[in-house]
Structure 1
Amino acid sequence: MENKTMFHGSDIEKIAQRKGVAPTAIKNFAANVNPLGLSPLATSALKEHMDIMTRYPDRDYGTLRRALASYNHTDHHYILVGNGSTELLSLFIGEVAPKKALILGPTYSEYERELKINNSQFSYYCLAEENQFKLDIPGFLAAIEDDTDLVIICNPNNPTSSGLANSELEQILKRAKEQDCWVLVDETYQEFTKANDSINASLLLTQYDNLLITRGGSKFFAVPGLRFGYALCSNKEMRGIMKGEQNPWSLNSVAAFFAEAMVGDTDYIEQTKALVWSEKIRIADALKNNQSFRLYKAYGNFFLLKILKKDLTAKMLFDEALEENMMIRICTGMAGLEGEYIRFGILSPEDNDRLLALLRRHY
């Protein structure tokens, strides 16, 4: 089982070139990025401190790590920053060098890519569509075999937008601990969840030293080009090894400065959550009770949609949306998804209305 990728949200330039328009003319529903754009507080601060580029960043990123610790309500010693969460994912998998990994799918293809680079065997345990992509915990625990040395979970998951509560994740961590197995939890979309969803693996760090969490700024803080990411891990030995393998000054001074400011922009953070949560409810309500599409509960800032209408494909919807300068993500062909699927992120209410109008034409 392998992932077959179509256009990614970062391919907006290719799409724009194909259409002969500027990238900014296309509403990118495929990238799952905060529609509010950049943090005003961080943007203003950077404008006043552009000379930060004349200095090397602090090799230990002390002030940034403390700001992240405050933001995540954890110990700053547990934090390692990097050039996007992808760098930290690569460092971690390279160090664990798993002989046999288990991936919760369908999911982000980068995990598979890194495992292949490290010549690791891996298998998928796929969420079932008939179960609304909710994980069968006993089945997943049974899939963690005696020789499994790494489990990879994206939570909330991309592309299903399904979520695992901490109580469920803890069962997996206990089982993995018994097997001397590491658990990697990618929480790229955690900040888009509600507090009562109980999705926050950082609360489990002090209890489990076989846990590494990756987070970043690309989605929630709308800075994919900044390449800012961080990992949280209570295992001092693992953090030390990863730091030792990492290139010095992996995160540039501008990224470090901007990241520290943006995680302190509480007004922006609350406005983002309010917008995304309200639009989740409104979009779900707008797409319920129709015979053409099936929408699943979203914990992230995006929805997975299954196409039920005969003679309508994801590629057809992609092309139709593109005609109206909107870009959605084709998920047909992803490992673990059988049928025709698209994924779309939550943008502004006005942009969401445009996409909803397009989908309603197929009711």
Structure 2
Amino acid sequence: MQYQHGGDVYSYAEGHGGALPTDLSANINPYGPPESVLAALHDAVAFCGRYPDPYCRAARRAVGAREGIDPAWIYPGNGAADVLDRLALVLRPKTALLLAPTFAEYERALGACETRFHALREDEGFALTERILTDLSPAPDAVFLCNPNNPTGRAADPALMRKIAAVCEKNDIWLIVDECFSDFLTDEARHTLKDLLPRHQKLVLLRAYTKMYAVPGVRFGWCMTANRDLIEALYQAGQPWNVSVFAQACAVAAAGEAAFARDSAQRIAAERAFLRTELGARGLWVCPGEANYLLFRAHDESLAEKLAARGVLVRDCSNYRGLARGYYRTAVRGRAESAALLAALDTLNEGGMDGWQKRS
């Protein structure tokens, strides 16, 4: 069995006598969780003797207040992946349009759906361009977009996203936009499509507190849509109590930490600029991402394994549709973790293993 995502420090520890690596394969905020979130998780222990609220009332109220939307437009889940699976089960699109590369869970969740792919190009910096508008005809049943995209980190031009939304609304296409990394944008308000929800009944936005609040082990995500029939269908599509008392308490606390998110986004932007410059100075091609991770390309197709041997994990992106071996993603963390990555790269180069440098 091969794990297809980042953050698998357990396999590394099993093969290295329990030692933990510098994990840059998972994109988690290095400055979290906030104290309020940790305190809420601790206090939630007292409620383990009862079933969690199946409708997550307190969490939905808190998230709704934070997002400025009706809590009735929120469906909460056991992480965004849980919500994604339920969406695929309820919508059952016969045809869907995805980006390539993008988050692999969309394709997995869609299963036997006829899937078309819009190819992002390196010579365009893997940016989403108006080329995608031609792929909306003939109209698919659903379009899944990740903004900022994973693994490229590119945020789409807001005007283009609104063009896409308008085409989808006109042609009765479900538009599912994964905004799980949008809170790492320093200009998040420009990019979200929340204001379109009231009039676009087939618009669904995915969000999660996993990354910004550094709680991947807690699992809280949600979708936002004004389509009340869809919300009800999502509740019916799986087991009740899918969000634990811990996750619900975490969501209430995290929703009150907007200032923490804004500060983190600014600090991470500075670290991202530093890391992008340093990787580029070592001859690597680096995608101009805007989230808390950077996609880069190296000539060495086994760079991830060589870095792991030196205690640093990055994400090998060769299993992303549209990418080949030699593409990697690193999280943007604190300066010490970035220094560990850079030192490992320098050690490899000093040892004569300079294949990771940029292709000529």
**Pairwise same-fold verdict (TM > 0.5):** yes
1:1-363 matches, cutoff 5 A: 8-22=5-19, 25-116=20-111, 119-137=112-130, 139-195=131-187, 198-290=190-282, 292-307=283-298, 309=299, 312-313=300-301, 315=302, 317-338=303-324, 340-360=326-346, 361=349, 362=354
Contact 1:150 1:184 (8 Å CA) reproduced = yes
- CA distance in 2 between counterparts of 1:340 and 1:318 reads 9
Contact 1:141 1:172 (8 Å CA) reproduced = yes
Aligned residues: 348
Aligned partner of residue 303 in structure 1, secondary structure:
strand
- CA distance in 2 between counterparts of 1:41 and 1:349 reads 25
Aligned partner of residue 102 in structure 1, secondary structure:
strand
Give 1:267 deviation, angstroms. 4.9
* Per-residue CA distance 1:118-145 (angstroms, 9 max, x = gap): x2110111111111111221x2111112
Give 1:230 deviation, angstroms. 0.5
* Per-residue CA distance 1:247-293 (angstroms, 9 max, x = gap): 22221112101221122134532442232111011112223355x31
- CA distance in 2 between counterparts of 1:333 and 1:59 reads 36
Give 1:338 deviation, angstroms. 4.0
Give 1:6 deviation, angstroms. 6.7
Where in structure 1 are there 5+ consecutive unaligned residues? none
- CA distance in 1 between counterparts of 2:3 and 2:53 reads 39
Give 1:197 deviation, angstroms. 7.6
Q: Percent identity?
A: 27
Q: CA 1:177–1:271 in structure 2 vs 1: closer, same or farther (change >3 Å)?
A: closer
Over 4 Å off, 4+ runs? none
- So what's the TM-score if we normalise by structure 1? 0.90
Q: CA 1:225–1:196 in structure 2 vs 1: closer, same or farther (change >3 Å)?
A: closer
Aligned partner of 2:29: which letter?
N
Aligned partner of 1:306: which letter?
R
Q: CA 1:49–1:181 in structure 2 vs 1: closer, same or farther (change >3 Å)?
A: closer
* Per-residue CA distance 1:150-201 (angstroms, 9 max, x = gap): 1011111111111113321111111112221101111111111111682212
Aligned partner of residue 8 in structure 1, secondary structure:
coil
* Per-residue CA distance 1:205-233 (angstroms, 9 max, x = gap): 12322111111122111111112111101
Aligned partner of 2:108: which letter?
R
- CA distance in 1 between counterparts of 2:271 and 2:147 reads 20
